[in-house]
Amino acid sequence: MTDPAPQQPETSDEAVFEAASHHDAARGARRFGRGRLSGGVLPGGLTLRALVPNAITAAALASGLTGIRFAVTAASGGTVAVPAQGIGASLPLDDWQKAVLAVILAGLLDGIDGRIARLLKAQSRFGAELDSLSDAISFGVAPSLILFLWSLQQAPRLGWFAALAFAICCALRLARFNARIDMPDQPHKSAGFLTGVPAPVGAGLAFLPMYVWFVTGNDLFREPGLVGGWLVLNAFLMISSVATFSWNSLRPRRNVRLELIALFALVFAALLSEPWLTLAGICAVYLAMIPFGIIAYAKAKRRGA
């Protein structure tokens, strides 16, 4: 009688997930900065500290999707949009305004999730992929659908092409960013600049006609030709190779730093009292800075040559 063949030890799902989590952490460090996960490991292999930045990213995704819901309600006649100046005059907010604010909130959350991940040393490949998917939906799909429902559906064919262009270009920008993570030679990044307009900024710029419409109530800014052309322009700015300023490239002189702090305080106060007009002004300032970013990068490139 022959002995039974020895059984191979079974590998539990928890062990497989834990091994994949540690492998993903090493790869994900390239996206959110160098670091490693340690301490506070839950039974499933996921660290407790890794939940915090991923939860913020998920909240950003939920905010972007909620913006679409507000736009659908407004377009179906659930509420009457009445443009008015000033936050005091426009309360309670109508659904168009809520839709825009939901995407802006997603942008604010997107700006802190990566920083919190680096602070907690909770970088992971899972977080990096979730961040990319969240950005594509919150800053590509959501603005496209909101603007289509608000204006572009009056010219359904051309308007839909403009909305598609913006959403696709946002996805292409994120794919380009992910593809260049492993590339050692990134001239813009090494000089402290970004390549093209970032996705959250592109979404904020795309809403510029809505900001002005909220302030003035002039239906000229709701014309599908104007909105569609503006949306396509922002789509190409996102996938362009234009060097744009990043926070690392903005280094004010010491003798003006107090003035800048005062300026930020005034801008914050303006956002509370005249939010839409202030947002339109911020968009105008950012667009005016793009040529200066190109010039500054050319100077930095010549110094590095």
For residues 286 and 305, the model is more confident at 286
Q: Which of 53-67, 170-184, 215-229 has the lowest mean pLDDT?
A: 170-184
Structural domain includes residue 194: yes
- Number of domains within the chain: 1
228-266 tens-digit pLDDT: 999 999 999 999 988 888 876 666 677 777 888 899 999
Q: What are φ and ψ of residue 198, in 5° steps? A: -60, 155
Q: Is the pLDDT of residue 1 over 80?
A: no
**CB-based contact 38:123 (threshold 8 Å):** no
- For 4, residues 6+ apart whose C-beta sits below 8 A from its C-beta are none
Query: What pLDDT score was predicted for residue 39?
Result: 44
**CB-based contact 161:69 (threshold 8 Å):** no
Structural domain includes residue 40: no
Q: Is the pLDDT of residue 50 over 90?
A: no
Query: What pLDDT score was predicted for residue 20?
Result: 47
- What would the mean pLDDT of 162-170 be, rounded to a whole number? 97
Q: Determine the structural domain holding residue 80 and report its residue range.
A: 47-179+189-304
131-154 tens-digit pLDDT: 999 999 999 999 999 999 999 999
Structural domain includes residue 53: yes
Structural domain includes residue 257: yes
**CB-based contact 120:53 (threshold 8 Å):** yes
**CB-based contact 133:196 (threshold 8 Å):** no
Structural domain includes residue 16: no
Q: Is the pLDDT of residue 173 over 50?
A: yes
Q: Among candidates 23, 53, 51, 29, which has minimal Cα distance to 115?
A: 53
Query: Domain of 155: which CATH number?
Result: 1.20.120.1760
Query: What pLDDT score was predicted for residue 8?
Result: 46
Structural domain includes residue 96: yes
Structural domain includes residue 37: no
- What would the mean pLDDT of 265-279 be, rounded to a whole number? 95
Compute the distance between CA of residue 131 and CA of residue 57 in angstroms, rounded to an integer: 6
Query: What pLDDT score was predicted for residue 34?
Result: 37
- % of the chain beyond a pLDDT of 70: 74
Structural domain includes residue 28: no
Query: What pLDDT score was predicted for residue 183?
Result: 65
Q: Is the pLDDT of residue 24 over 80?
A: no
Q: In the chain, what is the straight-line distance between the N-terminal and C-terminal CA atoms, in Å?
A: 79
* Cα→Cα distances 83→172, 215, 234, Å: 34, 6, 24
Compute the distance between CA of residue 228 and CA of residue 225 in angstroms, rounded to an integer: 5
